[in-house]
């Protein structure tokens, strides 16, 4: 009988600890859609990207592939005369495929983005 009493108290104690732990996890969890990063001049819209293709008035950028079996999105970013090129390159003509870039954009509509600033890493 004594064994069952100790077992019952142990189960109640463990259950009490685990439910408290679950409550803490649930109250400290914020779904991704509720977490927003304030857009500032220092936070690029696209970071850790590389130039996959360069066309007349747009560049195609994509993230670096870390998993060979995964598929990764590509983004078409339009470039105009107001786009600033910074970093190791200063002009649009100097950009080449595989340059590592950070890009700040201005959204024109749902499917068109214009680069305000492109920072090219060395």
> Quick one: tokens of 115?
């680069």
What is the helix (H) or strand (E) element at residue 2, kind and residue range? helix 2-27
Tens of pLDDT, residues 76-85: 999 998 999 9
Tens of pLDDT, residues 66-118: 888 989 899 999 999 899 999 999 988 899 999 999 999 998 888 899 999 99
| Cα Rg of the chain (Å, integer) | 25
Tens of pLDDT, residues 20-56: 444 444 444 334 333 345 555 578 999 999 999 999 8
> Does the CA dihedral 69-70-76-77 come out positive or negative?
negative
Tell me the average pLDDT of the chain.
80
């Amino acid at each position: 009988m004594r064994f069952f009493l100790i077992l019952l108290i142990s189960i109640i104690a463990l259950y009490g600890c685990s439910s408290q732990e679950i409550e803490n996890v649930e109250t400290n969890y914020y779904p991704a859609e509720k977490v927003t990063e304030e857009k500032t001049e220092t936070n690029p819209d696209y970071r850790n990207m590389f130039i996959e293709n360069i066309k007349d008035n747009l560049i195609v950028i994509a993230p670096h592939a870390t998993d060979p079996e995964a598929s990764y999105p590509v983004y078409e970013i339009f470039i105009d005369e107001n786009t600033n090129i910074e970093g190791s390159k200063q002009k649009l003509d100097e950009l080449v495929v595989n340059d590592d870039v950070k890009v700040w954009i201005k959204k024109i509509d749902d499917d068109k983005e214009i680069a305000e600033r492109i920072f090219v890493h060395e």
